[in-house]
Structure 1
Amino acid sequence: MNETPDFIPVRIAVLTVSDTRQLADDKSGQTLVDRIAGAGHLVVERKIIADERPLIADQLRAWCANDGVDVVISTGGTGLTGRDVTVEAHRDVYEKEIDAFGTVFTIVSMQKIGTSAVQSRATAGVAQGTYLFALPGSPGACKDAWDEILCKQLDYRHRPCNFVEIMPRLDEHLRRK
C-alpha cells in the first residue's frame, strides 16, 4: 500500500526589496503571497525594504531568529545595477548556500525569456534553520520560481525529496550532542 504523507504548511515571510514600491503596487510580492496562500502555506509576515545591503541583511537575520518563520522569500535587487544588493545581503546571512537553486532557476527562466536569463542572480541558502530565497523583482520571475521550483520543494509530499523533510535537521549543528 502506497501511503501519501500529509501536507505540512510552511510559515513564509515575503520581503520586497525596492526603493519605489509600496504595498499597493508591489505586484511581485503579491504574486508570491497569492501563490503561497494558494498552496496552503502561511504568509506570516510581509515587508518592503529599501535597496540597502545592511537593512536587507538585518531583516533576513531577524526573520531567521524568529521561530515563527521557516522560509524567507525576497523579490527584487538581484540584477546587475549598482543598487542591486539583495544577493550580497543574502550571502552576508547564509550559513550554507544552495548552489543548485540559481542553476535550476536559470534553466526554468531560459524556457521563458531565453538568454536574458543570464542577467538573474537568483540565489538561495540556509541560516539558523531557515531557508532563504532571493528572486528577481518581476512577477513573471516570481511565478516561475514558485510554480517550477518552490511549490514542489516546499511540499512535504514531493518525491524523491524536498526541503521540508530535512527542515528539522537544518540547525542540528547548533544543538548539543
Structure 2
Amino acid sequence: MSRIDQSKDFIAIRIAILTVSDTRDLSQDKSGDVLVQRLLEAGHELADRRILPDERDQIADQLRIWCKDSSIDVVISTGGTGLTGRDISVEAHRDVYEKEIDAFGTVFTIVSMQKIGTSAVQSRATAGVAMGTYLFALPGSPGACKDAWDEILARQLDYRHRPCNFVEILPRLDEHQRRK
C-alpha cells in the first residue's frame, strides 16, 4: 500500500501552472489558485503561471517553452479537457508529448467517479512526458483540480511516497537524449 517514507527528505520541485480559458484572467482563476495554493503548501516552488486562450498552437508552444526550461520540472494545465469544440488542451498536450502516461487518465476517472459519479466520463484528463518534463492536463473546475492534486499529484510529486513516485525518476526522463 502507498505510504510516505519519513526517513527520506522531501525534495521540492518547480511547477508551472497554465490556465486555458477564453474568458478568465488571474483575478477569476479559481482553478489556478487551487493548484498554486496546494503546490506551495506541499513545499514545492511555483516556477511560472500563465493564462492562455483555447488555442491549440499557443498552448503547445507554451508547453514546449516550459519543457525546454531547465528550471521547470512539471507543468500542470487546467481547462480545455472537456468535449466541446473549444476544448483542445488534450490535443495540444499530445502535440508535445514524447510519452503519454496512460494510467493518469484512468486513475483520475476513478477518483472522479467517487466524487461526481458517471459525469466523470466527460473528462479527458491526460498526462505525459516531454523533454524531461512532466505535463498534466486537468479539467477547469476547482473541484477537479483539488481531486487531482489531493488524490494523485500530491503523492506522485512527493519523493518520499512509496512504493514509487514521479520525482525519483525525474532525472532519468531524458536519459535517451544524453546518450547521443
Query: TM-score w.r.t. structure 1 length?
Result: 0.98
**1:72-105, Cα deviation, whole Å (9 max, x unpaired):** 0000000000000000000000000000000000
> 2:156 aligned with 1:153, yes or no?
yes
Residue type at the aligned position of 1:127: A
> 2:46 aligned with 1:43, yes or no?
yes
Query: How high is the sequence identity, in percent, across the aligned residues?
Result: 78
Q: Contact between 2:98 and 2:130, CA under 8 Å: does it hold in 1?
A: yes
- Tell me the number of residue pairs that the alignment of Structure 1 and Structure 2 aligns: 176
Corresponding residue of 1:173: 176
> 2:110 aligned with 1:117, yes or no?
no
For structure 2, the 5+ residue unaligned runs are none
- 1:10-21 to structure 2, matched below 5 A, reads 10-21=13-24
Corresponding residue of 1:80: 83
- RMSD (CA atoms): 1.0
CA distance in 1, matches of 2:49, 2:176: 29
CA distance in 2, matches of 1:3, 1:47: 34
State the Cα distance separating 1:4 from its structure 2 match.
1.4
> 2:133 aligned with 1:130, yes or no?
yes
Q: Contact between 2:100 and 2:127, CA under 8 Å: does it hold in 1?
A: yes
For structure 1, the 5+ residue unaligned runs are none
CA distance in 2, matches of 1:55, 1:176: 31
Query: TM-score w.r.t. structure 2 length?
Result: 0.96
Corresponding residue of 2:63: 60
Deviation above 3 Å: which 4+ runs of structure 1? none
